[in-house]
Amino acid sequence: MRDWIPAFAGMTNALGPRSAGTANATMTPDFSRTHFELLGLPASFAVDASQLERRYRDLQSQVHPDRFAAASEAERRVAMQFATRANEAYRTLRDPVGRARYLLSLKGYDTGEESNTAMPPDFLMQQMEWREAAGEARAAGDTAALESLRAELADARAEMLGMLARALDGDRNYDAGCSLVRKLRFLEKLDEEIDDALELIHERG
Amino acid sequence: MALLQISEPGESPDPHQHRLAVGIDLGTTHSLVATVRSGTAEVIGDEQDRPLLPSIVRYFRDAPPQVGYEARAVQADDPANTIVSVKRFMGRGVADVAKYGALPYHFVEAPGMVAIETAAGRRSPVQVSADILKVLRERAEQALGGELMGAVITVPAYFDDAQRQATKDAGRLAGLNVLRLLNEPTAAAIAYGLDHASEGTFAVFDLGGGTFDISILRLTRGVFEVLATNGDSALGGDDFDQAIATHWRVGHGLADGAGGDTRRLLAAAREVKEKLSFQEQADAQVVFSYNLKLRLHLTRAEFEQITAPLVQKTLGPTRKALRDAKLDVADIDGVVLVGGATRMPHLQRAVEQFFGQPPLKDLDPDQVVALGAAIQANVLAGNRAPGDDWLLLDVIPLSLGLETMGGLVERVVPRNSTIPVARAQEFTTFKDGQTAMAIHVVQGERELVSDCRSLARFELRGIPPMVAGAARIQVTFQVDADGLLSVSAREKGTGIESSIVVKPSYGLTDDEVARMLQAGFAHAAEDRDARALGEQRVEAEALLASVKAALAKDADLLDAAERAALDAAMQALDAARGGSDHRAIKAAAEALNHASERFASRRMDRAISGALAGRRVDEVSK
């Protein structure tokens, strides 16, 4: 048994814009750029996916350690740090929920996905129904029911992402944005559980 | 070399200088070395022009080891000293190798990794692998007529950190400058993709002698992006041989056992297995040590029946890789087969059935990995031709985490993260006044620490006494482009910082490598010193030249004090390289590297800013 516990279990990697993904006492390159700045994109929820991908690739073409394999140790280290940073920026911005969470953190809002579990009653009801349906389908080994539930979740997610775009880029209602991110995180978790259940059923043949 | 490459990434400062670099496929049953000559990747054969080198090493009391075909020919006569399939033991402990059943070796537990007692003394799998690599290095240096600048060594994508570290150590021990560890399926994709100018999403199905990998890659406009990888680092062609041997043992009432007879039986099984890829039935004759002569027979139908579970075992990881890539079978544009074991017809049928399309197999499955590694080595060495521009983005195969309360794993870096990657996680103290914290780093997908592989343990000490829960310990994982991990931890709650950077415990330190090199009889002590001195001088010269070039371009990035410190470090190295102490030159070079790191970072930053500024304003601000 260990004599310590995770301090912030929910802090999977909620690194602030100024601390970057490589927070480390021994590595101190200038990482003052935000993920958006690093990739040369406007700081908005709406992102052109193909442009994001192109920018990321352009950046990696410049900084990736493969470009510096024959260079000095100092340069190899620096390349690793910059490439790490580029990967972190791309990973965060590519995922709409991650992008929203990050954008909110830039505005000084913490989405509080682990600490704040308060949800509006109607969403709580919906949650319980979905969970129940997932549990029953899993127990019955009913892959069709699981698949249709997954499709239902995908629809709900698409709708929420639309609301998120309006809240962040339109109304600038960041409290609403935080609440939507929390709901979306719940959907993601349930989707992962359904995936696990499908996998399990598949393995049992 | 060096700082110049920030403005001209990947291009050699001297365009006329071709640096000798090779790709090495260090396989379970065979190893190969390949290089790029006149723009074409080719495997370098031995003096009889045989491309493969059997990965078999025989040790003697008073003579250098025998490697390759010679050792293979006598493996049944001297099984205890003839090491086959050593790759399976890399980075593994006694408990791990026990699952391979009775083996004819005398295993001993050594720190971090199993070792084998041989006539030549105790040998770790790293040393045995280094003996294979040395033969390939010498073969390449002879064929290319010079010393190698560096090598890319391939590893199964599903190799964990311990196995990767062991492979890199073996390369260093063989006197190679390891430019990169490259995942085998990724190497195959490079060879295949560049050869066919392919675009799209591909699955690389790689069943080698001892390992299975499945990687899903996207190839677009010169970028090879690995989306997900999965596999089984203890499943390969060897297991099919074992299944046949077991079938015969049961059928003929043969006794179990290790030693020469097992080797004879396995060699016969392998022979029959290979024949069954082309014919409906096959047989082999085995003469056992107790004077029993047997003709052993097998039909293809029998073979397919007894090995069906092994074929099935490849499909679970394949499904998982697709799921991690968030793709369906229908999204896959092509399936590439790699590894000798993919020649088996029933395996090909299973792959075809799973993906709903016939697999691509036009490149030699034995050679394709080494060819891809050679292409990558050529680029990394700086031999890239202008316009010949492509980028490789690979992933880490297994999640990395820390042990927390109750023996549970707290995941820090999820599997299939694009490397290099760094993640930080915060922890706190559990007891009032606690001043130290034990940190246990593990790798694997399971929830319990006991089901994952233990990579390293270290302690963070000097935490100021506080009430439970007040300390904030940040643990940072950094995975580099080779997929190798280093971990650091610091307490940041009170402003008092303490930090430690660990290399996993099985890794060899520079001193250990030096000692092991000394223990070998490849070079006399004076030779080694002379060689080291020559190497250090060349490196010092290149480093000085690159810093000077960087200063000529970007000196304005430094303030007076920084400039003075850099100048002093340059002068110190300049003075040291005139002397004859290679250690002093190395120390001065390290000091200059350290002094120039911030400069290198600002130069990189400027290069990125330049690229950003070069874009049209309306494009950036939308």
pLDDT tens, position by position, A74-88: 999 999 999 999 999
Query: Minimal CA–CA distance to A178: which of A191, A160, A190?
Result: A160
Percent of chain B, pLDDT > 70? 88
Give the confidence band of B526 by pLDDT, cuts at 50, 70, 90.
low
Question: Which residue did the predictor score with more confidence, B518 or B172?
Answer: B172
Active site residue B25: yes
B501 interaction partners in chain A (CB closer than 8 Å) = 26
Residue in B closest to A77 by C-alpha: B597
- The answer to whether B481 contacts A3, with C-beta atoms less than 8 Å apart, is no
**Interface residue B498 vs chain A (CB under 8 A):** no
Q: For residues A191 and A197, give the distance between their C-alpha atoms in angstroms, rounded to a whole number.
A: 10
Q: How far apart are the first and last CA of chain A?
A: 37
Q: Is the pLDDT of residue A21 over 50?
A: no
Going from the C-alpha of A162 to that of each of A50, A97, A148, A155, the distances in angstroms are 19, 12, 22, 11
Four-CA torsion B302, B304, B306, B309, nearest 10 degrees = -160
- The answer to whether B426 contacts A11, with C-beta atoms less than 8 Å apart, is yes
**Interface residue B296 vs chain A (CB under 8 A):** no
Do residues A58 and B607 make contact, with C-beta atoms less than 8 angstroms apart?
no
Question: Which one of B406, B474, B612 has the shortest CB-CB distance to A1?
Answer: B406
For B172-193, what is each residue's pLDDT tens digit?
A: 999 999 999 999 999 999 998 8
Q: Which of A85-94, B401-410, B498-507, B528-537 bottoms out in mean pLDDT, i.e. has the lowest?
A: B498-507
Strands (E), A102-185: none
Of A81-90, A134-143, B494-503, highest mean pLDDT: A81-90
Distance from CA of A187 to the nearest CA of B (A): 16
Active site residue B70: no
Question: Which residue did the predictor score with more confidence, B530 or A16?
Answer: B530
Predicted ipTM?
A: 0.84
How many A/B residue pairs have CB atoms within 8 Å? 211
What element of type H or E holds B435?
none
Active site residue B87: yes
Residue in A closest to B470 by C-alpha: A7
Active site residue B206: yes
Q: Which of residues 99-158 of B touch A (CB under 8 A)?
A: 149-150
| Catalytic residue chosen out of the listed positions B131, B169, B184, B366 | B184
A57 interaction partners in chain B (CB closer than 8 Å) = 221, 223, 391
Question: Which one of A30, A66, A70 has the shortest CB-CB distance to B1?
Answer: A70
Average pLDDT over residues A11-36: 46
Q: Is the pLDDT of residue B490 over 50?
A: yes
Question: Which one of B1, B418, B429 has the shortest CB-CB distance to A87?
Answer: B418
- The mean of the pLDDT values for chain B is 86
pTM (global) more than 0.90: no
**Interface residue B281 vs chain A (CB under 8 A):** no
Going from the C-alpha of A61 to that of each of A20, A82, B15, B512, the distances in angstroms are 20, 11, 20, 36
Q: Is the pLDDT of residue B254 over 90?
A: no
Q: Is the pLDDT of residue A1 over 60?
A: no
Question: Which one of A2, A3, A64 has the shortest CB-CB distance to B391?
Answer: A64
- The answer to whether B604 contacts A29, with C-beta atoms less than 8 Å apart, is yes
Half-sphere exposure of B44 (CA within 13 A, CB side): 24
Average pLDDT over residues B280-292: 87
Percent of chain A, pLDDT > 90? 57
**Interface residue B405 vs chain A (CB under 8 A):** yes
A194 interaction partners in chain B (CB closer than 8 Å) = none
| Catalytic residue chosen out of the listed positions B131, B169, B206, B271 | B206
Question: Which residue did the predictor score with more confidence, B159 or B608?
Answer: B159
Q: Is the pLDDT of residue A17 over 50?
A: no
Residue in A closest to B498 by C-alpha: A25
Q: Is the pLDDT of residue B384 over 90?
A: no
Contacts of B448 (CB under 8 A, 6+ apart): B407, B408, B409
* pLDDT value of residue B50: 96
**Interface residue A166 vs chain B (CB under 8 A):** no
Give the confidence band of A12 by pLDDT, cuts at 50, 70, 90.
very low
**Interface residue B617 vs chain A (CB under 8 A):** no
For B27-66, what is each residue's pLDDT tens digit?
A: 999 999 999 998 899 999 999 999 999 999 999 999 999 9
Peptide bond before residue B420 is cis, with ω within 30 degrees of 0: yes
| Catalytic residue chosen out of the listed positions B87, B134, B168, B273 | B87
For A148-185, what is each residue's pLDDT tens digit?
A: 999 999 999 999 999 999 999 999 999 999 999 999 99
Question: Which one of A30, A40, A199 has the shortest CB-CB distance to B620?
Answer: A40
Average pLDDT over residues B364-384: 92
A74 interaction partners in chain B (CB closer than 8 Å) = 593-594, 596-597, 599-600
* pLDDT value of residue B434: 86
- The answer to whether B604 contacts A82, with C-beta atoms less than 8 Å apart, is yes
| Number of residues in chain A | 205
Query: Minimal CA–CA distance to B26: which of B135, B162, B158, B120?
Result: B135
Half-sphere exposure of B516 (CA within 13 A, CB side): 22
* pLDDT value of residue B618: 41
Q: Is the pLDDT of residue A22 over 60?
A: no
- The answer to whether B604 contacts A79, with C-beta atoms less than 8 Å apart, is yes
Q: What are phi and psi of B93, to 5 degrees?
A: -95, 175
Average pLDDT over residues B238-251: 92
- The answer to whether B430 contacts A4, with C-beta atoms less than 8 Å apart, is yes
Average pLDDT over residues B253-258: 72
Give the confidence band of B521 by pLDDT, cuts at 50, 70, 90.
very low
Q: Which of residues 31-50 of A touch B (CB under 8 A)?
A: 37-38, 40-42, 44
**Interface residue A115 vs chain B (CB under 8 A):** no
